[in-house]
A = this chain, B = another copy of it.
Amino acid sequence: MKRLGFRVVERVLVLAASLLLVAQAAAQTDPLPSWNDGPAKKAIVEFVQSTTTNSNPKFVPPAERVATFDQDGTLWVEHPMYSQVMYCLDRVPALVEAKPELKKVEPFKTVMTGNREAIAKLPEQELIKILAATLTGMSVETFNAEAKKWLETAKDPRWKRPYTELTYLPMQEVLKFLRANGYKTYIVTGGGQDFVRVYSGATYGIPPEQVVGSAGGTKYGYGKDGKPFLTKEPRLLLNDNNAGKPEGIHLMIGRRPTAAFGNSTGDRQMLEYTGAGDGARLVMLVLHDDATREYAYGPALGLRDTKVGTFPQTLYDEAKKRGWTVISMKNDWKKIFAFD
C-alpha cells in the first residue's frame, strides 16, 4: 500500500507538472507564425489580449465578439478575376447546350468565342446577365452540386492550383486565432452568398450561417414527388458591396462587429461602421504590394481609381486618418500561401 500510495502521488505530481508545461508551451506558441513582427501583427495580438482579459477596460463579452472578413483580396486572391466570375463563364457552354438559342445572343456569343480579351471587356450589365443565367433558375441543391464539382476541378491560371488553395495563410491564422479566443468569424463578401457557402466550411472553417454575401431570392415550391424545394431566382435581395456591407451585417448578424478586415473600396463602409463602435476596435486593410509573390495594385501603384474591387489611394488616406492598420503583404507576411 505504501508503494502504491507513493506511486499515485508521484504520478499525479508528474501529470500536473506536464500539464503545466503543456499549458505554458501553448501560451508561448506564436498564434501568427506567418506574420513578421511589426505594427500589423502587434495590433492583432494586442486587440485579442485586451478584449479577452476580464480585468482589461477593453474587455468584450464573448457573445459580442464578432469579426467580419471581406473575402476577395482579403482572404484569398482576387486577380486577375474573381473566381466566381470564372465559375459563371465556365458554366456558359453547358447553358448554351441546354438553350441553343443563346448561342447567337450577347453576351453568351462573346463568351463562347473563348476570346479572353473580348470577355474581359464585356460591360457590367452584360456580365450581370451571365451571372443571372448561370447562378439562378435551378434548385439550391443543384446549384450546390454544380459549384462543388467546379471547385474540385477548376484551377487558377497562374498557380495551377484549385482556387480554394489560394487563401492567404496569414489570414487563416488570424481566423483561427480569433476563434480560439471566442470570436465568431464571418465572411462578408460582395460575392454570391450561396457560392461562398459551398466551400467556406472546408476552406475557412466558417459555417454557412456565418457567410454574408450578395444574395438573391429563392422561391418555395413542390417537386413532382410532392417534396418541397427552393429555386434560386434572379431577384437581388442584398448587394453586399459598399453601403450594402454594413446593411447586410445588420440584416444577417444584427450586431456591429468588433473587428473587420477588408482590402478595397467595397469594404470602406464596413470598416467605417466597425471602427465607429464603442470600446476596442480592430480595423485592418490588406495592401496588395507584393508583385512577386502575389500582385501589386492600388496605392502600391499610385492608383486613384475608385472602382469597386480596387484599393485606391483615397482609401489608404482614410485608413491613416481613422487609425486603421494597413497590412503590407510584402512586409507583414512571411508566407503568402500554405504551399509556399
Listed in ascending order, the chain A residues whose CB lies under 8 Å from chain B are 1-2, 4-6, 8-9, 12, 63, 140, 184, 193-194, 197, 201, 207-209, 211, 215, 217-220, 227-230, 237-238, 243, 246-247, 250-255, 269, 272-273, 276
Known: A4-B5, A252-B252. A247 touches B276 (CB 8 A): no
A252: shortest Cβ distance to chain B, in Å? Answer: 6
A171: shortest Cβ distance to chain B, in Å? Answer: 22
Cβ A228 vs Cβ B272 within 8 A? yes
Cβ A1 vs Cβ B6 within 8 A? yes
Known: A217-B247, A220-B246, A247-B219. A63 touches B207 (CB 8 A): yes
Closest 10 CB pairs of A and B: A5-B5, A208-B254, A220-B243, A209-B253, A2-B2, A227-B276, A228-B272, A218-B247, A197-B254, A228-B273
**For residue A271, which residue of chain B has the nearest CB?**
B228
Please give, as numbers and ranges, the residues of chain B lying within 8 Å of A272 by CB-CB distance.
228
Known: A2-B5, A220-B269. A228 touches B211 (CB 8 A): no
Known: A5-B8, A269-B220, A272-B228. A208 touches B243 (CB 8 A): no
Please give, as numbers and ranges, the residues of chain B lying within 8 Å of A207 by CB-CB distance.
63
**For residue A225, which residue of chain B has the nearest CB?**
B276
**For residue A201, which residue of chain B has the nearest CB?**
B63
Please give, as numbers and ranges, the residues of chain B lying within 8 Å of A227 by CB-CB distance.
276
Cβ A251 vs Cβ B4 within 8 A? no
Knowing that A1-B6, A8-B9, A209-B255 are A-B contacts, what are 9 other residue pairs whose CB atoms are under 8 Å apart, sorted by A's residue number? Answer: A5-B9, A193-B251, A209-B252, A217-B247, A218-B250, A218-B251, A229-B276, A230-B250, A230-B273
Cβ B2 vs Cβ A220 within 8 A? no
A-B contact pairs, 11 of them (CB 8 A): A63-B207, A194-B254, A208-B255, A209-B252, A218-B246, A219-B243, A220-B247, A227-B276, A228-B246, A228-B272, A237-B238
Cβ A254 vs Cβ B9 within 8 A? no
Please give, as numbers and ranges, the residues of chain B lying within 8 Å of A197 by CB-CB distance.
254
Cβ B8 vs Cβ A12 within 8 A? yes
**For residue A12, which residue of chain B has the nearest CB?**
B8
Please give, as numbers and ranges, the residues of chain B lying within 8 Å of A2 by CB-CB distance.
1-2, 5
Please give, as numbers and ranges, the residues of chain B lying within 8 Å of A229 by CB-CB distance.
276
Please give, as numbers and ranges, the residues of chain B lying within 8 Å of A251 by CB-CB distance.
193, 215, 218, 237
A209: shortest Cβ distance to chain B, in Å? Answer: 5
Q: How far is the CA of A36 from the CA of B98 in the complex (A)?
A: 57
Q: How far is the CA of A229 from the CA of B209 in the complex (A)?
A: 24
Known: A8-B9, A63-B207, A218-B251. A246 touches B230 (CB 8 A): yes
Please give, as numbers and ranges, the residues of chain B lying within 8 Å of A4 by CB-CB distance.
5, 9
Q: How far is the CA of A243 from the CA of B219 in the complex (A)?
A: 8
A315: shortest Cβ distance to chain B, in Å? Answer: 15
Please give, as numbers and ranges, the residues of chain B lying within 8 Å of A12 by CB-CB distance.
8
**For residue A10, which residue of chain B has the nearest CB?**
B5
Cβ A269 vs Cβ B228 within 8 A? yes
Cβ B6 vs Cβ A209 within 8 A? no
Known: A219-B243, A247-B219. A1 touches B5 (CB 8 A): yes
Please give, as numbers and ranges, the residues of chain B lying within 8 Å of A243 by CB-CB distance.
219-220
